[in-house]
Chain A
Amino acid sequence: MCVPDRALVRVQDLTPEKADQLIWLRARIHTSRAKGKQCFLVLRQQQFNVQALVAVGDCASKQMVKFAANITKESIVDVEALVRKVEQKIESCSQQDVELHIERIFVISQAEPRLPLQLDDAVRPDGEGEEEGRATVNQDTKLDNRVIDLRTTTSQAIFRLQSGVCQLFRDTLTKKGFVEIQTPKIISAASEGGANVFTVSYFKTSAYLAQSPQLYKQMCICADFDKVFCVGPGKKSSHHVLPPCAAFTLVRSLRCFQTEIQTVNKQFPSEPFKFLEPTLRLEYTEAVAMLREAGVEMGDEDDLSTPNEKLLGRLVKEKYDTDFYVLDKYPLAVRPFYTMPDPNNPKYSNSYDMFMRGEEILSGAQRIHNAQLLTERAIHHQIDLEKIKAYIDSFRYGAPPHGGGGIGLERVCMLYLGLHNVRQTSMFPRDPKRLTP
C-alpha cells in the first residue's frame, strides 16, 4: 500500500494555530496578481479562501514568480507553503488571520484561459450589478456552464442545505419507523392521467417513465410494510400518514444551517422563515371565506388557482404570521379519483396541501383502500378501468386504511431560502427547453 507523500491541509483549517508550520494544500487559483518581485494569489476551496504570496528569495526565483502570476484562474494547484500570522486582518478572505508564503507550487490541472463566466460576477446580487455597473451573470449562462456556476459560495450553500434537507427527511422518517423502498421508474400504463407522460421504447414495445411512485408505495402498504417512503428524482414521497409534524420537524431543524442560509441571503436577500408550533392547520372552507372576504369570487368546490394560492398565503401570513401551514379538507371534486371522501361530508375529502411562503410543497391525502369504492370513483372520473386493473387488484386481498403525500425537495429549498426560481435549487434542471448539461 502506498503512503501519500503529502498531507493536504484544508483552507478552512488555516488558523493562527498553524503559524510557522510548513504545509501542503490543494486548491483553485481564485485570483493571481503580480506586483514587481512578488505575486499575490488567492487560493480557494469551496466557500473558503486564503491569501498566498510568492516572492523572489531563497525558495523562489523571478521565473517562478512569473510562472505563478501566469497560472490561469480556476486551475487546481498544489502548494507547499509556510503559514504566517498577519498583523492586519485580510478582510477579503475567509481566512483573515493568516497568509501563505509559498515555497513550491505545482499546477495539477490547468484551466483554459477564457472562462465562460467569472465566479465573482455569478455571485453578485442583481441590484449591486446594476448600481455599480458591474457584470452579473444571467440564469441561462449559469445553467449552460453549471460546472463552474456550482463552484460559487451561493451554489455551494444551496446544495449543501439541500443535502441536509434530504438527510433530515430520511432521519425523521426512519426514526418514526418508516422503511425506505425503491420503486420501478418504468411502468406500463400512465398512472395519473395521460397528458404529460414521457414514453420510452421498451424491448419490442413502449413504456412510460413513472410520474410518481405512489402506486408502488400503496402496494407496499398492502404488503404489510406499514410505513414506507422513497426518495426519487425530483420528488420525495412517503406513505402511511405523513403528519404535519414530520414536515414541521424538518423546518425547525433547518435552523442548524444558519451559515448556509446567510450565505445565500448575501446574494438573494429574503425574509427569515417563520412558522408556528404545532403547525397551523386550516380547513378549505376557511380559505374560501378568507379569499371571498378579500374580493375573490369562487365557488365552494372550486380549486385554488396559483394566484389564489399566493393570495391566500399572504392572507394567512398577515393573520397568523407563519410561512408554513397545512390546508385540509379539499373539495372531492378537484382531487384525483383515488382520494378518500370525507365521511362527514360527501362534498369534501380527506386530502390536504402544505404551503411554504404561499406556494404548494406537498399534495397528500388518505387513499381509498376499498376496491369497490375505488372502482366507483374511477368510473365517476371516466377512467378506463382496464388501464388501472393492476392498481385496483392490489386492494382486493385485504388493504389497511392509509394515506400520504409527496414533497418536492427542490421546492422546499427554494421556498425556505426565499428564492424565486426552482432552477436555482435544481442542480442540473430539466425543462421543456433544457436537456443539458
Chain B
Amino acid sequence: MSMYQVKPICGGDIKIDLPTCMYKLANIHAQQGTGCNPEHALQDHGALRDIVVNANPAHPPLTLLVLHSLLSQRYRVLSTVHVHSSVAGVPPQLLSCLGPRHADSYARQMFQLGFTLIWKDVPKVEMKFSIQNMCPIKGEANVARFLFKLLAPYPSDPALATLVDSWVDTAFFQLLDGSAKERAAVLRALNSALGRNPWLAGPDVSLADITCYCCVLQSGSVSSAPANVQRWLKSCENLGYFGPAKLLLQ
C-alpha cells in the first residue's frame, strides 16, 4: 500500500556541535548481532565454559537431555552429573543420564563446553552460564531455547519463529503440566497441524518438534495419540536424537 511521502524538511547531514567533555554511549541499535547471540558466549577464552543446569530429580528434564546429546555431537562437551546436598539420594539412572564419562574428563581445558547437571531440590529447572553477564534462566522451556540456539538459529521468519515458541510453551504448560482436558486439546491441535506438514513449524525439524515429542512421551500420551501424531512420533524416532529420553523413561 503506497502512502503519501513527505520529503525531508532538513538535510540529513547537519553538523551538530556536541560537547566533548561528556561520556559517549555507542549506538545500542547498531549492535544487533552480538550481545544476544549465544554463539558469542562460546568464544574461546582459553578455559572451559561451563553450563550449569539445576533440576529436580522428581521431574527429570527430558528435552534438555536430548539437547545435551545433540550438543555433544556438535561440540567437544564435558558432561558431569552431581547430586546437591539438598537431595538425599537419586536413582542410578539419573546419575548416568548424560552417558559414560569421557576418557579425557580429567583435562577440562581440552573441552569447548561444559554441561554440569546438578540434581537439586529446586521448584523449576534453572540454568546458570555466565554469572556476570546473564541472570539465571528458569524453566525447562527457556533453558531448552538457550541450548537449542547453540546448535542452530531460530527461523529468520518472525512468524515461523513465533510458531516454534508457541509450540514449545504449549508442550510444557499444556501438555506436560496441563489437565487431561488440556492434554487432549493439545493432541488434537498437533494432529491437525501435522495433517498439513511433516513437522510442526516449517519444512524442517525444529525445537518445537523436539519439545513436543519429549512432552508427549513424558505425559504418557503416546498410546492415546491420534494418527498424524503417531506418524510424526515415528518420524521423530527415526531422527535418532531421542535415545537419552527413552532410556530414562524405561
Using a CB–CB distance below 8 Å, which chain A residues touch chain B? 273-278, 280-283, 285-286, 288-290, 293-294, 300, 315, 318-322, 329, 344-345
* Apart from A276-B82, A286-B50: 18 A-B pairs, beta carbons within 8 A: A273-B85, A274-B84, A275-B84, A276-B83, A276-B84, A276-B118, A285-B48, A289-B46, A293-B132, A294-B132, A315-B131, A318-B131, A319-B52, A319-B128, A319-B131, A321-B118, A321-B120, A322-B84
- CB <8 Å contact, A283 and B48: yes
Contact indicator A274/B47 (Cβ below 8 Å): no
Q: Is the CB of A275 within 8 A of B85?
A: yes
B37 within 8 A of partner (CB): no
Determine the chain A residues whose CB is within 8 A of the CB of B48 once the complex forms.
283, 285-286
Interface residues of B (CB under 8 A from A): 45-48, 50, 52, 54, 82-86, 107-109, 116, 118, 120, 128, 130-133
Chosen A-B contacts, 22 in total, with CB atoms closer than 8 Å, are A273-B85, A274-B84, A274-B86, A276-B82, A277-B82, A277-B83, A277-B84, A280-B82, A283-B48, A283-B109, A285-B109, A289-B47, A293-B130, A293-B132, A293-B133, A300-B46, A315-B131, A318-B131, A320-B52, A321-B54, A322-B84, A344-B107
Closest to B129 in A: A319
Alpha-carbon gap, A288 to B133, bound state (A) = 16
The listed residue (B84, B107, B108, B109) touching A321 by CB distance below 8 A is: B84
Number of A-B contacts (CB under 8 A): 60
Bound Cα distance from A286 to B52, whole angstroms = 14
B5 CB to closest chain A CB, in angstroms? 49
Interface SS of chain A: helix, strand, loop or mixed?
Answer: mixed
For B116, the chain A residues whose CB sits under 8 A away are 320
Could you tell me if A285 and B46 are in contact, using CB atoms closer than 8 angstroms?
Answer: yes
Bound state CA distance, A184 and B96, in angstroms? 47
Verify A289–B45 contact, CB threshold 8 A.
yes
Closest Cβ of chain B: how far from A55's Cβ, in Å?
Answer: 51
Given A280-B82, A286-B47, A288-B47, A320 contacting B130 (CB threshold 8 A): no
Closest to B86 in A: A274
Query: Inside 8 A of A276's CB, which chain B residues have their CB?
Result: 82-85, 118
| Complex CA–CA separation, A275 to B120 (angstroms) | 11
Residues in chain B near residue A290, CB distance under 8 A: 131
Q: How far is the CB of A320 from chain B (nearest CB, A)?
A: 6
Closest CB-CB distance, A315 to chain B, in whole Å?
A: 6
Note all chain A residues with C-beta closer than 8 A to B132: 293-294
Which residues of chain A are within 8 angstroms of B133 by Cβ–Cβ distance?
293
A274 lies within 8 A of B128 (CB): no
Whether A278 contacts B82 by the Cβ 8 Å rule is: yes
8 pairs of A and B residues whose beta carbons are closest in the complex: A285-B47, A276-B82, A289-B47, A293-B132, A286-B47, A283-B108, A277-B83, A275-B85
User: Of B47, B82, B120, B128, which is in contact with the most chain A CB atoms at under 10 Å from its CB?
Assistant: B47
Q: Inside 8 A of A289's CB, which chain B residues have their CB?
A: 45-47
**A283 and B47 form a contact (CB under 8 A):** yes
Q: A99 to B131, alpha carbons, bound, how many Å?
A: 57
Smallest Cβ-Cβ distance to B122: which chain A residue:
A321
Question: Which residue of the partner chain B has the closest CB to A329?
Answer: B109
Question: How far does the Cβ of A183 sit from chain B's closest Cβ, in whole Å?
Answer: 31
- Determine if A274 and B52 form an interchain contact, defined as CB atoms under 8 angstroms apart: no
Contact B45 A320 (CB under 8 A): no
Q: Which residues of B lie under 8 Å from residue A278 when comparing CB positions?
A: 82
A283 CB contacts on chain B under 8 angstroms = 47-48, 108-109
Q: Closest CB of chain B to A355's CB: distance in Å? A: 16
Question: Which residues from A are CB-within-8-Å of B130?
Answer: 293
A288 nearest CB neighbor, chain B only: B47
Cα(A189)–Cα(B30), bound, Å? 67
Find A320's partner among B86, B107, B118 (CB 8 Å cutoff): B118
- Shortest beta-carbon distance, B35 to chain A, in Å? 15
> In whole angstroms, what is the CA distance A172 to B83 when docked?
21
A277 CA to B86 CA in the complex, in Å?
11
Q: Which residues of A contact B47 (CB under 8 A)?
A: 283, 285-286, 288-289
Chain A residues within 8 Å of B83, by CB: 276-277
Residue of B nearest to A286 (CB): B47
Q: In the assembled complex, how far is the CB of residue B120 from the closest CB belonging to chain A, in whole angstroms?
A: 7
**Nearest-CB residue, chain B, relative to A323:** B85
CB distance from B234 to the nearest CB of A (A): 39
**In chain B, what residue has the closest Cβ to A279?**
B82
Residue numbers in B under 8 Å from A344 (CB-CB): 107
Residues of B contacting A315 with CB < 8 Å? 131
How far apart are B1's CB and chain A's nearest CB, in angstroms?
A: 49
User: For A277, what are the chain B residues with a Cβ–Cβ distance below 8 Å?
Assistant: 82-85
Q: Separation in Å of the A147 CB from the closest CB of chain B?
A: 37
**Which residues of chain B are near A322, meaning CB under 8 Å?**
84
> Considering the chains assembled together, what is the distance between the CA atoms of A275 and B85 in angstroms?
5
B108 and A282 contacting across the interface, CB-CB below 8 Å: yes
Least CB distance from A437 to B in Å reads 38
Chain A residue nearest in CB terms to B132? A293
Tell me the bound Cα distance from A137 to B158 in angstroms. 68
Chain A residue nearest to B83 (CB atoms) is A277
Residues of B within 8 A of A320 (CB): 52, 116, 118
> How far in angstroms is the closest Cβ of chain B from A336?
22
Q: Determine the chain B residues whose CB is within 8 A of the CB of A300 once the complex forms.
A: 46
| Most-contacted residue by chain B among A276, A283, A315 (CB, 10 A) | A276
A274 to B86 CA separation, bound complex (whole angstroms) = 8
Q: For B82, what are the chain A residues with a Cβ–Cβ distance below 8 Å?
A: 276-278, 280
Write the chain A residue with the least CB distance to B82: A276
Closest Cβ neighbor of B130 among chain A residues: A293
